[in-house]
Structure 1
Amino acid sequence: MTDRVSDISSPIGLIAGGGVLPFAVADSLVARGIKPVFFALKGVCDPEKVSQFQHHWIAVGQIGKVARLLRAENCRDLAFIGTLIRPALSEIRLDWGTVRVMGHVLAAFRGGDDHLLSGVGRILERDGFRMVGIKDIAPDLLMPAGCLTRKTPDQSATADIAKGLDVLRALSPFDIGQAVVVIDGHVVGVEGIEGTDALLARIAQLRAEGRIRAKTARGVLVKAPKNGQDLRYDLPTLGPRTIENAAAAGLAGMAVVAGNTLVAEPQALVGAADASSLFVVGLPA
């Protein structure tokens, strides 16, 4: 957690993509007396849920419009939250604010997703805003250390976790993904652009095709942020759907880095894991 958590201003702007996480963050802010203002991405953010909050609709690439609206709403601090499929440059809705900084936009698109988000964040910071992360604004959503579930990892799973962390550290410089699946010491899947849920669906399919012959209730999903990653952007996230997909993939459980992983629905996640006899472990940072 940064030292800025006590210095968050109200209202705060939430540039919101898909999923439940933006609304979990908003609820956390409201509970602490901080007003969230949504800048919801068209076609991505849930229109029914966002209607419960002060909000504006924006398209990807409307940097000038976002800056104007942030100033109108008196938002100094802002955060990127939620899922977003990386757009092609041809899909960006250019406004004059974007054209003015087009060189910086092009530079942001040359890297991976983390590079893209941090690049756009730097553009907004040049306009006088301050990018903050969920670690700053909703620390109650961070994964705690230790095992959250009745089931705990056995010796085999512990070894798989260690190997998974080694793999993620080795892949970190290439900005490929934040998750890997290891079964009985074998790396059977690495997260790519498709995301964690699709990775787990691929493992389930490989089992169904007989390509993975290990018994079910074996293997671990390991998630961790990349080395040197700006932790204000794109932290690994867990939710009940992750549990359902891990169970369908025949895994024993999952391990993530405590304090650097988001859990949007912790009670539902633990309940789903216990019902499926999976373990969920928060690893020391």
Structure 2
Amino acid sequence: MMTKTALIAGQGALPAILARALARNGTDHLVAEMEGFPCGIRAPEPVRFRIERLVPFLDHLADHGVERVVMAGAIRRPRVEAELVDPRTATLLPRLIGAFGKGDDALLREVIGIFEDWGLTVVGADAIAPELVPPAGVLVGQPSDADARDVERAAELVSGLGRLDVGQGAVVAQGLCLGLESLPGTDAMLRFVAAEAADLRPDPNGARGVLFKAPKPGQDRRIDLPTIGPETVRGAARAGLAGIAWEAGGVILLQREDVERLATEAGLFLWSWAP
């Protein structure tokens, strides 16, 4: 008998992709969304929950036979309204509030721990749709030797950034860091590079630069894997970059056909990079 799965859906394209994969695979599942963060999925109708009533929501999952959970999509850190907290959820608040003051990875680890305490198995998006994580290799275009050096430098920067639990991306051109990802995200970083950093390359005829993305070192890869989608390609093109690279096996590629088409039209390479 197939395990019943709960898709905890945030915003963006990934939750709908996973919902379709669950339906296509014939997996019995339900969809849940946090109030204030509509996921856009309407079949099945999402169960709505609040962080202040997390325990009743976990009980609801158990009562409906859920054994497996996948979390996907963007959710901003909610503001906890103390007057709405039920007594059982109140016992979890010290864990949650302590984690709210840390980076995303620390917070998500705590959330995973709470779900596991309820006997739920938390899996990554790639367990539902493994085709979302491409194997190593160049998908589109051909990076130059200079591009490869920029990818290696960007990978070093992302590794250092990730150890601080800050971000998962960097832009490097001709060995110089033009942008580092922080809480506003990849698109904001690319807008900054396009607007402010495009003229910082020492050689106007040299390497145009790369965007590199990777999970944080030691990150729990069942949740919050970096994603690349069509808007990432558009942002990289506007920033004048030569291509996009990512750690092989560690990044979700959304709408792959559209991403490859847009990259080809923009003259960008796409590289699932293995050191």
Choose from 3, 26, 44 the match for 1:10: 3
Inter-partner Cα distance in structure 2 for 1:92 and 1:24:
36
1:261 maps to: 251
Inter-partner Cα distance in structure 1 for 2:170 and 2:86:
39
Decide whether aligned partners of structure 1 residues 20 and 136 sit closer, same or farther in structure 2, where only a CA change above 3 A counts: same
Matched, 1:106 2:77: no
Matched, 1:166 2:159: no
Q: Secondary structure at the match of 2:258?
A: helix
- The answer on whether the counterparts of 1:18 and 1:44 sit within 8 Å (CA) in structure 2 is yes
AA at the equivalent of 2:12: G
2:65 maps to: 74
Structure 2 gaps, min length 5: none
Choose from 260, 269, 273 the match for 1:270: 260
Give the stretch that moved more between structures: 259-268 or 214-223.
214-223
TM-score, normalised to structure 1's length? 0.89
Decide whether aligned partners of structure 1 residues 135 and 167 sit closer, same or farther in structure 2, where only a CA change above 3 A counts: same
Question: Following TM superposition, by how much is the alpha carbon of 1:203 offset from its aligned partner in structure 2, in angstroms?
Answer: 0.6
Decide whether aligned partners of structure 1 residues 192 and 91 sit closer, same or farther in structure 2, where only a CA change above 3 A counts: farther
Q: Report the RMSD for the aligned CA atoms in angstroms.
A: 2.2
2:22 maps to: 29
Matched, 1:137 2:128: yes
Question: Following TM superposition, by how much is the alpha carbon of 1:154 offset from its aligned partner in structure 2, in angstroms?
Answer: 0.6
Q: Secondary structure at the match of 1:62?
A: helix
The C-alpha deviation readout for 1:114-150, integer Å capped at 9, x for no partner, is 111110110121122121111322212112211111x
1:116 maps to: 107
2:231 maps to: 241
1:179 maps to: 169
Inter-partner Cα distance in structure 1 for 2:269 and 2:98:
41
Question: Following TM superposition, by how much is the alpha carbon of 1:264 offset from its aligned partner in structure 2, in angstroms?
Answer: 2.1
1:202 maps to: 192
- The answer on whether the counterparts of 1:86 and 1:113 sit within 8 Å (CA) in structure 2 is no
Inter-partner Cα distance in structure 1 for 2:204 and 2:184:
26
Inter-partner Cα distance in structure 1 for 2:7 and 2:30:
6
TM-score, normalised to structure 2's length? 0.92
Inter-partner Cα distance in structure 2 for 1:73 and 1:101:
22
1:55 maps to: 46
AA at the equivalent of 2:166: I
- The answer on whether the counterparts of 1:107 and 1:119 sit within 8 Å (CA) in structure 2 is no
- The answer on whether the counterparts of 2:214 and 2:251 sit within 8 Å (CA) in structure 1 is yes
Give the stretch that moved more between structures: 269-278 or 35-44.
35-44
Choose from 124, 148, 160 the match for 2:139: 148
Count of equivalent residues: 274
The C-alpha deviation readout for 1:180-229, integer Å capped at 9, x for no partner, is 00011101111000111111111111147x55676497100000111111
Inter-partner Cα distance in structure 2 for 1:36 and 1:91:
31
Give the stretch that moved more between structures: 69-78 or 15-24.
69-78
Q: Secondary structure at the match of 2:235?
A: helix
- The answer on whether the counterparts of 2:178 and 2:197 sit within 8 Å (CA) in structure 1 is no
- The answer on whether the counterparts of 2:34 and 2:48 sit within 8 Å (CA) in structure 1 is yes
Q: Secondary structure at the match of 1:273?
A: helix
AA at the equivalent of 1:200: L
Choose from 51, 55, 74 the match for 1:83: 74
Q: Secondary structure at the match of 2:77?
A: coil
Q: Secondary structure at the match of 2:246?
A: strand
Inter-partner Cα distance in structure 2 for 1:44 and 1:194:
17
Give the stretch that moved more between structures: 107-116 or 262-271.
107-116
Q: Secondary structure at the match of 2:270?
A: strand
Q: Secondary structure at the match of 2:75?
A: coil
- The answer on whether the counterparts of 1:60 and 1:92 sit within 8 Å (CA) in structure 2 is no
